[in-house]
Amino acid sequence: MDADLRRGRVNEPLNVQQEPGLAEWLLTTQPSVFQTLQAQRFVVLTTGMFSPNPFELIKEPLLEQIFAALREGFEYVILDYSFSPTVVDTMTLARLRV
């Protein structure tokens, strides 16, 4: 799951579409599309569209519910996000359990 709502680019090396993704799930409350990688046994949830205020999306209570759904539905969840102690997004995501 690409949770870097500021600069997420996991879609590029994996050659999948950027949208829809996590941002759309948070905005619409409708589960987003997980993209299956060709010839692989895993799926990816991209960042989706970039928001003018990504922190507003990250602090959404729905994000905790999304993480809970991921724990229920998948054996392993790999979360990719910007690792910078100065960015409040990182601190908020670090408090959530995937």
Q: How many CB atoms lie within 10 A of CB 81?
A: 22
Rounded to 5°, the CA angle 66-86-4 comes to 35
For residue 66, the one-letter residue type is I
Is the pLDDT reported for residue 98 higher than 60? no
pTM exceeds 0.85, yes or no? no
* Residue listed under structure tokens 């724990």: 71
State both tokens at 56: 């507003």
Q: What is the pLDDT of residues 15-31, one digit of tens each?
A: 899 999 999 998 888 88
- Domains of the chain, residue spans: 11-83
Q: What is the DSSP letter of 43?
A: E
Q: What is the dihedral angle through the alpha carbons of 45, 47, 49, 52, rounded to the nearest 10 degrees?
A: 150
